[in-house]
Amino acid sequence: MKAIYRIAILCSALSVLAACGGKDPVDPVDPVNPKKEKPAPETHTLTFVLPDDGAKTAWAAGDQIVVHGEYAEDQVTVTLEAGEISGKTATKKVDGLRPYKRDDCTSSLYASYPASVVDNLTHCFFYSKFSTTNEQLMAACNDGDTFRFQNITGVLSMSVDGDYEGYLLSSPKKEALGYEFIQVKITDQEQLYSQYKGTPVLQIEAPMNGSDILIYLPDGTELSAGFTLKLKKDGDYVKIYKHTDPVEITRGAVTEIGDVTAEIQDYVNPFAADILDLDTDGNANSYIVTAPGGYKFKAVKGNNSIAFLEEPDNAVVLWETWNDASEVTPGSVLVSADYAEDYVIIHTPDELRPGNAVVAVKNAAGDILWSWHIWIPATTIKTGSFSGVFGEDLMDRNLGALVATEETDTQIDPLSYGLVYQWGRKDPFTAAGAFNSGSPATCAGEQDEVAPGQITLEESIRHPKLLGHVDNGDWLLETDDLMWTETEKSLYDPCPPGYRVPTPVGSAPFWASDLTTQSGWGVNVAAGWLKLGSPEAAVFPIAGYRDDYSVGGMAKVGVRTLYWVSRGAGAKGSGADLRSDKAYTFGSAPKARLGSVRCVVE
């Protein structure tokens, strides 16, 4: 799955690059006209012919078509009038056209419908780009002055009696129902009906006008387990129709479901009105909660908003901690976790108890499909530049810390230690439970388990409390330096929405070979902190780490600390390995070691 996810990202990036003017659309230099001067505008009397298939059977007054040659800035929007229409045919005089002439095809003008969703780039050439797929999209090239349109989408058609204002279409298996954009290439020599596609759309929400529902889907859309249609009235979904037979959409064809009125059922909304979204700023592997109540977030893998889980069944609270050595009361941080309609729903106690928890979604067999960290700090998390210490804006505390570390002459609050991570993992483990303690903070629920050796990625997902163990090496059986990445927030990045594991940026002070030479440096080993930055210092607890040689317990708390960054290097990960007994320097450490993370703004 990991490899497929990366390939999908690469393909999407290449598609966007090509769509934005890659090598394929670029004309060779014309030796007669090397500066590629624009041709003079022309006037044509154009005839537009609808295809024989599809839901649109005749032109209507007010229909708008885009006609263009090479440049989008010269494209012309044609508005049809009643006197110009004869059923499937419309004829209109159009000024200002600049044909796009090439040796490999005779067509020189191109048309797209409807104009309201045409989104052509600066150089549109022989392409038509649309900003949605839920329309009857049509495109054509000219044959002389005639355009014979071809359908790009097919139609899913049904009807329902009742005064409904809108619908929501989804697929049980999360198959793509469309794309954020689609670009096609139609010439007299080549027909590519989905040359470039944007991000898949997994739900389609649209208003209704009457009882007929026409949903436009791209050619080849397969709904192998059917589809679900929710019907909205007075702002809420009140009815639901479930179609269980497979559906396949063909370009230009109308897939008729018929009148479904007798088969609709009452819809019971599992989300109370006071349940708030945690992922309005994006999906992540951790979420911050700052007030008591009920919350929900999409049950997708990490930071990929469309990586839905396969056959999810229920959600549970795996474990909770108060970040100290106290005996944790079950249900004190999170009362419950539930799963419904692609969402995890969590509830806190009426009185918020600061701490951390991990919730998981399981399948019917009890296997964990994915897990998420819920962070409930005791004080407000602040973000700032801290005099450019990281070269990026960063949090004022470690990931999972309940309070920020303070520069003081007395012992720091151990609640500022936060949580610790094996390099590249999304799931946290508890850090020291008391000041300079060698014992991790206690937790209620599932307890840590140390594997006899390295573990697979799949094992780490199914068992979020399982520690891969190897001396001076990688916890992961097959080393992967892309678990966390420097170029973008990875699937396994543990930071909340809007934040990511830091990347070494240039010559920022925290990435120096000797931090003691940097502005604002200070350390108080007796109190358990170090700082960097002037005039605004970032303060860090000397939190120790869980050693790769004795993974079960804490090591060097109050003496050393390790801060991971997103750069991997084989069996080791890069990080600031800060040692009061040796040196304060940016370097590396074995990936099996558990270090702290200080999240930075994406």
Q: What is the pLDDT of residues 355-382, one digit of tens each?
A: 999 999 999 999 999 999 999 999 999 9
Give the number of residues written for the chain. Answer: 602
Q: Which residues contact 32 (CB under 8 A, 6 or more apart)?
A: none
Indicate if the pLDDT at residue 385 is higher than 70: yes
Express each pLDDT in 278-318 by its tens digit. Answer: 999 999 999 999 999 999 999 999 999 989 999 999 999 99
Grouping H, G, I as helix, E, B as strand and the rest as coil, residue 510 is helix
Closest CA to 128 of 146, 144, 149: 149
Q: Which residues contact 37 (CB under 8 A, 6 or more apart)?
A: none
DSSP conformation class of 473: S
Question: What are the backbone angles phi and psi of residue 458, rounded to the nearest 5°?
Answer: -60, -40
Q: Token match 């990625």: residue?
A: 457
How many angstroms separate the CA atoms of 250 and 265, rounded?
29
Question: What are the backbone angles phi and psi of residue 388, rounded to the nearest 5°?
Answer: 75, 25
Model confidence at 505, pLDDT cuts 50, 70, 90, reads: confident
Q: Can you spell out the DSSP letters for 80-148?
A: --GGGEETTEEEEEEEEE----BTTBS---EEEE-GGGB---SB-TTEEEES-SSS--EEEEEETTEEE
HSE-up (13 A, CA, CB side) for residue 326: 12
Which domains are delineated in the chain? 2-28+38-151 (no CATH), 154-178+199-266 (2.60.40), 275-601 (no CATH)
Closest CA to 334 of 380, 269, 289: 289
Q: Token match 């019917």: residue?
A: 364
CB 186 within 8 A of CB 138: no
Which run of H or E residues covers position 553?
none
Other Cβ atoms within 10 Å of 408 Cβ, number: 13
pTM of the predicted model as reported, rounded to 2 decimal places: 0.83
Q: Please report, rounded to a whole number, the percentage of residues in the chain having pLDDT higher than 70.
A: 94
Indicate if the pLDDT at residue 13 is higher than 60: no
Task: Quickly list H helices, 436-567.
Answer: 457-462
Which run of H or E residues covers position 18?
helix 2-19
Other Cβ atoms within 10 Å of 124 Cβ, number: 25
Indicate if the pLDDT at residue 417 is higher than 90: yes
Model confidence at 30, pLDDT cuts 50, 70, 90, reads: very low
Indicate the residue type of 406: E
Provide the sign of the torsion angle of the four alpha carbons 310, 315, 316, 319, taken in this order: positive
Indicate if the pLDDT at residue 521 is higher than 90: yes
Residue 534: exposure state from Cβ atoms within 10 A (0-12, 13-18, ≥19): middle
Provide the sign of the torsion angle of the four alpha carbons 143, 149, 151, 152, taken in this order: positive
How many angstroms separate the CA atoms of 172 and 16, rounded?
28
Express each pLDDT in 58-112 by its tens digit. Answer: 999 999 999 999 999 889 999 999 999 999 999 999 999 999 998 889 999 999 9
Indicate if the pLDDT at residue 4 is higher than 60: no
